[in-house]
Amino acid sequence: MIVMNRRDFLKKVVTFSLSLMGIVVFPLYFYLKPTRLKTKSTEFFYVTIEDNLPKKGVNRFKALINDKKMLVYIVKYNDEWIALSPVCTHLGCLVNWNRNKNEFQCCCHGGRYAMDGTVLGGPPPASLTRLPMEIRGDKLFVGLRLSYK
Ligand code: FES
């Protein structure tokens, strides 16, 4: 029979507890802790001059955003301009405007959107994203929500 005095017993309990924390608690904490919060802010990017906006229908523009080209559709809809993201809400492919059928089409899985971006058919779960627009002077700017860590 092993006889242990009170001091040795307490040492073993403390050692065991610290080991348990090291093996279980700390890794669990780092696994479950929330990732760093991202802040999002809307930044506006120059797209074109106002004279280039469509008088009717849909025009596609390229904007330069942080040295990368981004497509944006500007649509004249109900006497207003709206800016639509070309990113399909299903799995993120880029949609194309089909002038003959008067709809946006996604070639990946057949998603279809109306001129105002609402879903006409296929798997997309939501309308194309409307982007905020601003006309400053005679220039059109489109807003994007960008994430920062
Ligand atoms: S990604 Fe557009 S329909 Fe699937």
112 and 64 in a common domain: yes
14 and 43 in a common domain: no
> Which atom of ligand 1 is the closest one to the Cα of 92?
1
The answer to whether the CB of 111 is under 6 A from ligand 1 is: yes
Residue 109's CATH number: 2.102.10.10
Starting at the edge strand found earlier in the chain, the sheet holding 80-84 runs: 57-65, 68-77, 80-84, 130-131
138 and 82 in a common domain: yes
Of 37, 33, 59, which Cα lies nearest the Cα of 48?
59
14 and 64 in a common domain: no
CB hemisphere CA count around 139 (13 angstroms): 8
| CA 144 to centroid of ligand 1, rounded, Å | 21
Domain that holds residue 4: 1-33
Percentage of the chain exceeding pLDDT 90:
62
What pTM, to 2 d.p., does this model score? 0.72
pLDDT of residue 115: 97
Contact of 74 with 104, CB cutoff 8 Å? no
How do residues 66-118 score in pLDDT, each as one tens digit?
Answer: 788 899 999 999 999 999 999 999 999 999 999 999 999 999 999 999 999 99
The one-letter amino acid code at 96 reads N
Structural domain tally of the chain?
2
Show Cβ contacts of residue 36 under 8 Å, excluding neighbours closer than 6 positions: 149
In the chain, the N- to C-terminal Cα span, in Å, equals 59
For residue 44, what are the β-bridge partners?
Answer: 143
How do residues 109-147 score in pLDDT, each as one tens digit?
Answer: 999 999 999 999 999 999 999 999 999 999 999 998 776
Confidence band of 148 (pLDDT split at 50, 70, 90): low
Q: In the chain, how long is the greatest CA-to-CA distance? A: 96
CB hemisphere CA count around 105 (13 angstroms): 9
The answer to whether the CB of 144 is under 6 A from ligand 1 is: no
Q: Could you tell which of 87, 89, 90, 129 is best to mutate to test the pocket of ligand 1, judged by most ligand atoms within 8 Å of the CB? A: 90
CB atoms within 10 A of CB 81: 15
Q: Distance between CA atoms of 109 and 128, rounded to whole angstroms?
A: 15
